[in-house]
C-alpha cells in the first residue's frame, strides 16, 4: 500500500492524516487529503476525553504549541445538572481518572454498597473525588513537580481552529493537500474504490481510501453501500442548536451539561468565549422552540448573537472498514456529545486500524476483528449514554418520561441496571459482561449514585453507632486527603496565562 487518499478535512481527516504520516512516513506511504472548499465543516464539538492528550503526545506536539492556537482550556470532567430531582442529588460530577483514586474511591464503593442495601449513609460521588474537589476550586489538573502522581484530563477547544492547526502540521510533515469536490467515485471489477474524479476533471487514484466526508459518508455508505444502523430507538436526540456567549473572569475546568425540557444544554469554556448548545429531539420540540429555550437558559433572549442549527445522524455504519475503505469520524458513526467521545472514536479508530494493518495487512480475519471491535466500542459507549436518560427522574415533559420508560435497551445495559438494583458487585458484573473497557466501575458508580438512583428510597435503616462513627471518620479522612492534595495544584487561569 503506497498511496492513501483521505476524503474530507475537518478534525477527523487531519487527525487521520497526522497519525498515519507519523506512523508510516518512513515506509514510503504517500498520504493525500482532498477537501472541498464548497462543503462546510460541521465540527464535532469542543470537548474531549483524555485520549486527545494521547493523540498530541503521539505526534510530539506540546500543549504550549497547540492550545493557544486553538483557544483551548483544560477539562477535569463533566458536571451533570438537573438530570435528577432526588433531593441532594440534583447534580454530580463525572471525573476523569487519576492515580490517587485508589485512596478514596474504595470508600465510595463501600458506601454506595451500603446505601444500595438500604442503609442511610452518604453516597454522593462528588464527596469522594479529588478531581471534583479540584474542579470546584477551578484548579488545573497539572500537579506540582514534587507531587509525582498521574492525572488524566481532557481539553476544551475551538473545533474549527484545531482542524486548521492539524492541517498545517500535516502539510509540514509532507501530507499532500488538494482542494476539490468529488464528482464521481470509480470502482474496479471487485468493487474496490479505484479513484476519485473531481469536478475540475482531475482524477485522484489510490490504494486505500479513508472516508472523512461527514454524515454524507460518500465512500463507505454511498459508494460501497455499507448499511447505516440507527440508534434512534435508544437515543431520541437528533438535533442541536449552538451559540456563543462571553467567557467569565475565572475559567471553569469542566463541561457543564444541564437538563432542559426536551434535551440538555452544554456549556464549554474556551479562552475567548463559552461554547453553548442544546441537544434535543425534533420529535418533541421544533428548532425554534429549542433556540428560544436555550436563549432563555443563557439569559440572552434579546441578544443579536446568531444561533447555528444542526441535524445529527445518531448510529453507526454496519462496518467501519469495507474493501479498501475505512470510515473515520461522522462517516463512521456518531453518538451525541454527552460524554464528548467523538474525537476519542477518531483516534482509537485510526490507531487500531494501523495496528490491524501492521499485523495482518488486508486479511479478512484482521478486518473482521477490527470491525467487531469498532462496533463493540460504539455500542459500549452508547449504552453508557443511554443510562443517563434511563436514570433521569424528571417528569416535567413527556420527553423525559419517555426516555425513562424506554425499554429498547441492550441486554448488557439491562444487566448492569439489574446488577445495581440487585446489589451485585459492579466490577464483577463489568468483568462478566466484558464491557469494563468502555466505562469503568468508577464511571458507572458515579452516574448511578450521582443521580440518587438506589433500590430503596424510603424507610432506610439507621446505621449502628459504631458504623456511624466509622462513616464520620472515613469522611473526615477523605476531606483531609482531598484538601491536602489540592494544595499541589494551581489555578486554571494561571496555566492559561490569564
- Among 123, 154, 137, which residue's Cα sits nearest to residue 46? 154
Cell numbers standing for residue 34:
482532498
Beta strands in 58-98 (DSSP E): 73-75, 77-81, 91-95
Domain stops at, among 335, 364, 379: 379
Distance from C-alpha of 31 to C-alpha of 23, rounded to nearest angstrom: 11
Distance from C-alpha of 28 to C-alpha of 8, rounded to nearest angstrom: 22
| Confidence bin at 407 (pLDDT 50/70/90) | very high
pTM: 0.96
**Contacts for 455-462 with beta carbons within 8 Å, 24 or more apart?**
455/116, 455/117, 455/118, 455/420, 455/421, 455/422, 455/423, 456/118, 457/86, 459/118, 460/118, 460/119, 460/120, 461/118, 461/119, 461/120, 462/120
Do 132 and 191 have their domain in common? no
Task: Answer whether residue 167 is part of any domain.
Answer: yes
Task: Answer whether residue 320 is part of any domain.
Answer: yes
Residue with cell 433572549: 301
Cell numbers standing for residue 104:
478514596
H or E segment at 6? strand 3-7
Task: Answer whether residue 403 is part of any domain.
Answer: no
Do 370 and 443 have their domain in common? no
Task: Answer whether residue 22 is part of any domain.
Answer: yes
Do 171 and 212 have their domain in common? yes
More confident: 457 or 41:
457
| Confidence bin at 166 (pLDDT 50/70/90) | very high
Domain stops at, among 340, 360, 379: 379
H or E segment at 348? helix 342-360
**Domain that includes residue 215, residue range:** 3-43+159-232+314-379
Q: Is the pLDDT of residue 44 over 60?
A: no
Q: What is the CATH number of the domain that holds 334?
A: 3.50.50.60
- Report the catalytic residues: 75
Domain stops at, among 379, 402, 422: 379
pLDDT 10s digits, 342-380 = 999 999 999 999 998 888 767 788 899 999 999 999 999
Do 303 and 331 have their domain in common? no
pLDDT at residue 45 in the model: 55
- Domain count of the fold of the chain: 3
Do 323 and 213 have their domain in common? yes
pLDDT at residue 301 in the model: 84
pLDDT 10s digits, 264-304 = 999 999 999 999 999 999 999 999 999 999 999 999 987 78
Which residues 6+ apart lie within 8 Å of 339 measured at CB?
Answer: 49, 78, 94, 381, 384, 385
Distance from C-alpha of 385 to C-alpha of 80, rounded to nearest angstrom: 12
Sheet holding 182-187, edge to edge: 182-187, 193-198, 203-205
Do 147 and 180 have their domain in common? no
Do 420 and 282 have their domain in common? no
Task: Answer whether residue 65 is part of any domain.
Answer: no
Cell numbers standing for residue 486:
489540592
Arithmetic mean of pLDDT over the chain? 95
Do 417 and 481 have their domain in common? yes
Task: Answer whether residue 122 is part of any domain.
Answer: yes
Do 370 and 414 have their domain in common? no
Which residues 6+ apart lie within 8 Å of 459 measured at CB?
Answer: 118
Which residues 6+ apart lie within 8 Å of 424 measured at CB?
Answer: 418
Coil, strand or helix at 156: strand
Task: Answer whether residue 53 is part of any domain.
Answer: no
pLDDT at residue 43 in the model: 53
Do 339 and 196 have their domain in common? yes
Neighbours of 87 (CB within 10 A): 7
Task: Answer whether residue 446 is part of any domain.
Answer: yes
User: Which residues in 7-25 are b (16+ Cβ under 10 Å) and which e?
Assistant: bbbbbbbbbbbbbbbbbbe
Beta strands in 301-391 (DSSP E): 308-311, 315-317, 321-322, 325-327, 333-334
Do 131 and 166 have their domain in common? no
Do 141 and 176 have their domain in common? no
187 CB burial (10 A radius; 0-12, 13-18, 19+):
middle
Amino acid at each position: 500500500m503506497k498511496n492513501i487518499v483521505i476524503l474530507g478535512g475537518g478534525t477527523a481527516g487531519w487527525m487521520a492524516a497526522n497519525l498515519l504520516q507519523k506512523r508510516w512516513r518512513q515506509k514510503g506511504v504517500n498520504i493525500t487529503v482532498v477537501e472541498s472548499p464548497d462543503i462546510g465543516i460541521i465540527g464535532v464539538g469542543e470537548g474531549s476525553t483524555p485520549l486527545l492528550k494521547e493523540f498530541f503526545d503521539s505526534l510530539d506536539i506540546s500543549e504550549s504549541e497547540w492550545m493557544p492556537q486553538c483557544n483551548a482550556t483544560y477539562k477535569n470532567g463533566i458536571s451533570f445538572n438537573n438530570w435528577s430531582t432526588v433531593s441532594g442529588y440534583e447534580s454530580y460530577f463525572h471525573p476523569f481518572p487519576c492515580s490517587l483514586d485508589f485512596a478514596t474511591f474504595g470508600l465510595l464503593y463501600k458506601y454506595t454498597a451500603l446505601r444500595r442495601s438500604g442503609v442511610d449513609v452518604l453516597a454522593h460521588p462528588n464527596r469522594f473525588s479529588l478531581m471534583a474537589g479540584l474542579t470546584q476550586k477551578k484548579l488545573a489538573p497539572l500537579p506540582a513537580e514534587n507531587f509525582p502522581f498521574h492525572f488524566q484530563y481532557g481539553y476544551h477547544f475551538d473545533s474549527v481552529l484545531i482542524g486548521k492547526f492539524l492541517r498545517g502540521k500535516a502539510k509540514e510533515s509532507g501530507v499532500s493537500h488538494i482542494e476539490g469536490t468529488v464528482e464521481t467515485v470509480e470502482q474496479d471489477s471487485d468493487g474496490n474504490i479505484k479513484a476519485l474524479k473531481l469536478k475540475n476533471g482531475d482524477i485522484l487514484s489510490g490504494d486505500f481510501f479513508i472516508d472523512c466526508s461527514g454524515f454524507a459518508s460518500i465512500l463507505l455508505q454511498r459508494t460501497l453501500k455499507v448499511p447505516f444502523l440507527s440508534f434512534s430507538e435508544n437515543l431520541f436526540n437528533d438535533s442541536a442548536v449552538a451559540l456563543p456567549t462571553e467567557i467569565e473572569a475565572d475559567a471553569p475546568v469542566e463541561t457543564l451539561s444541564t437538563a432542559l425540557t426536551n434535551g440538555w444544554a452544554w456549556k464549554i469554556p474556551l479562552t475567548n468565549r463559552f461554547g453553548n448548545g442544546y441537544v434535543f429531539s425534533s420529535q418533541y420540540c421544533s428548532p425554534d422552540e429549542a433556540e428560544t429555550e436555550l436563549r432563555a437558559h443563557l439569559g440572552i433572549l434579546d441578544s443579536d448573537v446568531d444561533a447555528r442549527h444542526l441535524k445529527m445522524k445518531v448510529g453507526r455504519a454496519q462496518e467501519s472498514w469495507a474493501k479498501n475503505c475505512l470510515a473515520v469520524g461522522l462517516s463512521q458513526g456518531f453518538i451525541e456529545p454527552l460524554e464528548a467521545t467523538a474525537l476519542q472514536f477518531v483516534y482509537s479508530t485510526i490507531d487500531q486500524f494501523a495496528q490491524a494493518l501492521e499485523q495482518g495487512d488486508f486479511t479478512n480475519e484482521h478486518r473482521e476483528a477490527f470491525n467487531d471491535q469498532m462496533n463493540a466500542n460504539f455500542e459500549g459507549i452508547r449504552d453508557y449514554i443511554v443510562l443517563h436518560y434511563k436514570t433521569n427522574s424528571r417528569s416535567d415533559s413527556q420527553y423525559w418520561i419517555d426516555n425513562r420508560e424506554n425499554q429498547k435497551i441492550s441486554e448488557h445495559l439491562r444487566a448492569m441496571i439489574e446488577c445495581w438494583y440487585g446489589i451485585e458487585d459492579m466490577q464483577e458484573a463489568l468483568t462478566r459482561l466484558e464491557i469494563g473497557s468502555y466505562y469503568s466501575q468508577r464511571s458507572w458508580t458515579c452516574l448511578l449514585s450521582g443521580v440518587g438512583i438506589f433500590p430503596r428510597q424510603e424507610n432506610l435503616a439507621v446505621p449502628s453507632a459504631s458504623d456511624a462513627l466509622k462513616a464520620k471518620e472515613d469522611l473526615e479522612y477523605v476531606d483531609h486527603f482531598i484538601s491536602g492534595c489540592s494544595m499541589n495544584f494551581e489555578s486554571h487561569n494561571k496555566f492559561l496565562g490569564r
